[in-house]
Each structure stands twice: as structure tokens, then as C-alpha cells.
A and B are shown apart, each in its own frame.
Chain A
Amino acid sequence: MLFSDLTEETLFSLLSNKSRSALTILGIVIGIGSVIAMISIGHGATQQVTSQIESLGTNLLTVRSGASRSGLVRGGMGSASTLKTTDVEAIRTNIDNVEAVSAVVSSQKQITAKGTNTNTSIYGIDTYYFGIKNIAVSLGAKITEQHINSKSKVAVIGPTTRDDLFGADANPIGQKIRISGQEFSVIGVTEAKGGTGMNSSDDIVYIPLTTAQQYLTGSSQTVTTINVQVASDEFMDTAEENITALLLVRHKIADAASADFNVMNQADMLSAMSSVTGTLTLLLGAIAGISLVVGGIGIMNMMLTSVTERTREIGLRKSLGAKKRDISSQFIAESIALTFIGGVIGVIVGWLASFLITYFASTTTVVSYYSVFLSVGISALIGIVFGYYPAQRAAKLDPIEALRYQ
């Protein structure tokens, strides 16, 4: 049997049962479409998380003070005041290959402006901070050395905070905001960086480090976080080790396990997050995969019905000289055609779905080529796997019995 005959026969028999073929194809379309859409959500999440972490600055080590303890109650990470301004200086002078070091005092406070208020993070920062974190101001000015020296009550606010307090796209420069009873004047607005949730750098109020120490934490010596920018990727591990060793000595702690601080490597964070999103992708893909299997069972069901219905035809073809292989390849070809058509339409539908998800749910989705090839390949494979059994059943029919079948 020639390949062109096979395709002709296949098309003919699929077209002679249009509605049944269409419904079976629909099952595969839904399966493939949802696999593509789900994996695109997973990939989108990975990409978003990666770009967010990378936007926080490159080659970044973050030192945070450890958890506070009062009796048996253990506070959150960073709640103890173990990191001192002197530690910052020590890192700056003793650690090699360090580009910049920035100290931060952070807390969560209620902020009020004229008639409005919001609850957000207050970061007391030094002049290095914006550089390390790649933060630019879109309006007004940054916090300067002079602000820090004179403990000025000035604030640079994030765009989300600006929107919350003054309304979208308002110019807040020169406006007053109150934090813990102190009045600050707004001198700048940072550029939007995107991202949502707790760690959004768009919903933050930045004030000078010294001001924060005086008015918010009440201690001019302690800092919450030290951000260290390492000169290059290859020095990350040594810098991390050296900082840990230095701080252990300075804090007079012999055992690294009981350290009262914690050094986080950005690369570790990235790999931790991408393993989370990787699991998410796998989970979403697996759920969608179930519908693909159901679609495959639909194919098998249709093929089995078709074998039974066409028993006489199979007998006839055999009596006319069709070999087992001719019969089985005809049925396999039909199921592959069904899944292949379903696969191609499914890719388009999945693509469209992920586009709509991005459009309406504003979730980043990424349709990767590998997921497209993978699902078209899987759909053809499903055709072979679920078409094989019905095809074998057809090929094994005894021509005499089949011709007599009513």
C-alpha cells in the first residue's frame, strides 16, 4: 500500500464520520491546549521571578541579623539587633573584591498624608543603596550624603506608595508625609520596577539611614540588613565565606551554627525560587497531561468503535488482498491523523489561551518552543499508543469471520 493511498484512505474515512472525528479531535485539542497554556504559565512565573530577583541587583550578598529570642519565643529573621554600623565598616575595609556595601534599617509603619494613609515598608538607607539595587528616581532627587549627615527628615517614595497616598501620577515633591509622628517631606519618586507583594520595591518609603535610626529604631548603632555587592560572580562564594568568618569573629561566636546573623547569596535565592517555579510548571503540566490522557482514551474509544463497525469492510479488504500490515497501518494512520490535527489545533488554542491569560489576568506567560514540539510529539505518540491496540485488533480479524459479521 502506497503512502499516498494510505493518506487518501485515512482522510476519506475520517471525513465520512465528520462529527465523531471532530469530537475526538476536540479531546486532543483540549489536552494539548491546556498543556501548552499551563506550561506557559509555569514558564512565565519562572521568568518573572528570575527577572525580579535579577532586578534587585547583581552579585548581591545580603547579611541580615538573626532571630531575636526572648525566653522560648523566637522572633522572625532580622528581628534581633545584632548587626552594627561598625560591622558595615568592617566589611567595607576587610573583605576583598567588594564593590559596594550598603546598610539598611527597615521597618513596617503606618504612613499618613493629607487625609490618606497606607501601611508600607520604611527603609533607612545610605547613599550606596540605590546604586546596588539598581534603583533610579523618575522624579525629584535621591537621598544624599548631606541628608544622612544632618539626619534630614526627607523621603523618597516608591511609585505605588505615591499612588496610594497622592493618587496616580500626582507630583508629590514637596508634600509632607507623617511616619510615627514625624513629618517628612517628599523629595523624590523612584522608577517603577514591577513586581507585586511583600517585596515590591515600588511600595517603599526610603529615608536617610541616620534619620531612621534616630526616629524609628531608636538606636544609632544597629542596622537590619547589610547589602554587599561583590565585584564579580566568581568571588561570590569566597566573599560569602569571608563575611561569615569576619562577622563570627566580631560577634565572638565560635560555632557557625549559632550565628546571630545570616548571609544570603542571590544565586542561592535564584536557584531556590526556580526550583519552586519548576515544580509549579511540572504540577501544572501534569494536571493538563491528565486531560491529554483522557483525550487519548477518546481516540482509542473511537478507533475501537470504528473497528467493530467496519468489521465487514476489514474482511472485504483482506479478501481483496490486504495484508495485516495494510489493515493495521490504516487504523494507526487514522489515529495519528486525529491526534496530529488535534495537536496542531491544540498548539494554536494553547497559544491563544496563554495570550488571553496574559491579557486578562496579567500573569506573565511564556510559550516555549520546546513545549510546542513536546506536545505535538506527545500527541503523535498518543496516536500511536492508543491506536495500536485497535489497529492490532483489526489486523488480526479472521477474514472469513469478518465477512460474515452482521
Chain B
Amino acid sequence: MIRCENISRTYKIGDDEDLTVLKNINFTIEKGEFVAIIGPSGSGKSTLMNILGALDRPTGGKYFLDDRDVFSLSDEELAEIRSEKVGFVFQSFNLLPRSTVIRNVMLPLIYDKKCPKIDRLEKVNKSLKEAGLEEERWQHLSNQLSGGQMQRVAIARALVNNPGIVLADEPTGNLDSKTGEIVLETFKNLNRLNGHTIILITHDHHVAEHADRVIEIKDGEIIADKKKK
């Protein structure tokens, strides 16, 4: 599913000054895994997430997503990969304001050429059910929802294209611990019951504990890769 071979990412910050954010990243994630990538802020985990989500390209090494070499793809092809294979869940939800839940969840489908217009609503309903949002909220505007509900809308949006991987960047960062727990349960269920591959990026060990596998990175390098049991 995901294969990282010696990935590195450096930024040019001066004429001959480089900042290395990631180096020698090697791991593979199989379909159906629930992985947490954990590290303190500045460790490079967000950069790694951007690369995994095809928002960014590595400057060295190779990244294969479904056996496609992401490094060699054009911007347009990256957009297609994001549309078909990746679902993002952000810390700050990033829902469209003044729009209904259904419109928000449908948003990725309008950029997906392969999804006919008549199938859209069905897909939206399915993923909203998977994300566990109560049906009476579906017609509500996104800004009338609580934080936990918003994040479940965002999860439904990430799932609607039936992507290969769901990338969640600090999904509980803006939620209180109780709601955070519910959201994490949602992820767990999606993984267990629906077989989605989930990659959770966090700095919080409590959050990471929910995953089956924890990859720890520090200063741009993997320092631990542990599977539970």
C-alpha cells in the first residue's frame, strides 16, 4: 500500500543553506493497518504527512503509493492521487462555512471524474453513517455543529471517495478529551469494521495508543516502529 524508501525532504532556506526536515525514512504500511505517527513538534511529522498525502514530493528517496512512484508525478497527477487514494482529516476540521453537512461531505466528489452525479448522494449517506453522525444533523449547516460533530463530518468527507488511506493530522487537537475519545473510537471502528487504512499523526502518546502500530520520529528520523502484540 505505502512504501517509503530512504525518503528525505530538505528545504532551501538560503543560497547555499539547506534545512533537512526528513532523512532516511523507511517503512511500509499495508492495507488495513491503523498506524500512528508520533513525534514532538518540529520532528518532521507534518512534512511526512504531506508527502504521504501527495501534497508534497520528497527531495530524495522514493515514495510508492499503490505501487505508483509519487516523485515522478506532475501536479495534476498528484491532485488525481489525492482525489482517488487519500482522505484528509485536519486538526481544525476545515469545513466549508455556511454549508450543509451533505454539501461538505460531497465536496471531494465534484473533483472526482469517476463518480457520476447520481451516485453522489448515496456515497455521502454511506460515509456519514460510517463516520457515525446522527441523521438529523445531515441538513444542518456546518457551523451549527459541535466540535465532535464537525470532526465526524470531516471524517465522512475523507471517506466519501473510498480512499486507500485516511490521513488524520492531530484530529483530536481541537477537541476536549471526551469528544476526542469518541472521534478516536470512530477511527478504530472504521479500521476494524470497515477495513480502512488509517494513519494518525499526533504528538500525544494517549492518542497514539489507540493505533495498532506506532511509528515514532524525532529530528526527521524514525527512532521506533512498534506493533502492538
- The answer to whether A322 and B79 touch (CB under 8 A), given A317-B107, A400-B50, is yes
A400–B56 CB distance below 8 A: yes
Chain B residue at minimum C-beta to C-beta distance from A6: B110
- 10 further contact pairs, Cβ within 8 A, besides A1-B110, A315-B94: A2-B117, A12-B99, A316-B96, A318-B79, A319-B55, A319-B82, A320-B88, A322-B79, A322-B111, A400-B50
A403–B90 CB distance below 8 A: yes
Contact of A324 (CB < 8 Å), options: B56, B76, B84, B117: B76
B111–A321 CB distance below 8 A: yes
Closest 3 CB pairs of A and B: A321-B83, A320-B108, A321-B111
Complex Cα spacing A66 to B56, Å: 87
Please provide the chain B residues from 47 to 81 with a CB less than 8 Å away from any CB of chain A in the complex: 50, 53, 55-56, 75-76, 79-80
A313–B55 CB distance below 8 A: no
| Interface residue B209 (Cβ < 8 Å from any Cβ of A) | no
Complex Cα spacing A330 to B50, Å: 25
B94–A312 CB distance below 8 A: yes
12 residue pairs of the A-B complex, CB under 8 angstroms, read A2-B110, A4-B117, A12-B99, A313-B94, A318-B55, A319-B53, A320-B83, A321-B108, A321-B112, A326-B111, A400-B56, A403-B94
Indicate with 1 or 0, residue by residue over B79-112, a CB within 8 angstroms of chain A CB atoms.
1101110001010001010110000000110111
- The answer to whether A320 and B111 touch (CB under 8 A), given A313-B96, A400-B50, is yes
**In the assembled complex, which residues on chain A have CB atoms less than 8 Å from the CB atom of B111?**
1, 317, 320-323, 326
Complex Cα spacing A315 to B56, Å: 13
Number of interface residues of B (CB under 8 A): 25
Indicate with 1 or 0, residue by residue over A275-319, a CB within 8 angstroms of chain B CB atoms.
000000000000000000000000000000000000011011111
Contact of B55 (CB < 8 Å), options: A312, A322, A324, A399: A399
**In the assembled complex, which residues on chain A have CB atoms less than 8 Å from the CB atom of B107?**
317, 320
Please provide the chain B residues from 31 to 47 with a CB less than 8 Å away from any CB of chain A in the complex: none
Closest chain-A Cβ to B142's Cβ sits at a distance in Å of 12
**In the assembled complex, which residues on chain B have CB atoms less than 8 Å from the CB atom of A317?**
107, 111
B76–A320 CB distance below 8 A: no
| Interface residue A93 (Cβ < 8 Å from any Cβ of B) | no
A321–B82 CB distance below 8 A: yes
Complex Cα spacing A83 to B107, Å: 88
Name which of A4, A5, A12 has the most chain B CB atoms within 10 A of its CB: A5
Complex Cα spacing A28 to B50, Å: 42
Closest chain-A Cβ to B70's Cβ sits at a distance in Å of 14
Closest chain-A Cβ to B168's Cβ sits at a distance in Å of 13
Please provide the chain A residues from 1 to 51 with a CB less than 8 Å away from any CB of chain B in the complex: 1-2, 4-5, 9, 12, 16
A321–B94 CB distance below 8 A: no
Name which of B76, B80, B82 has the most chain A CB atoms within 10 A of its CB: B82
Complex Cα spacing A313 to B142, Å: 14
Complex Cα spacing A316 to B53, Å: 13
**In the assembled complex, which residues on chain B have CB atoms less than 8 Å from the CB atom of A400?**
50, 55-56
B110–A323 CB distance below 8 A: no
Indicate with 1 or 0, residue by residue over A382-406, a CB within 8 angstroms of chain B CB atoms.
0000000000000000011001000
Closest chain-A Cβ to B75's Cβ sits at a distance in Å of 7
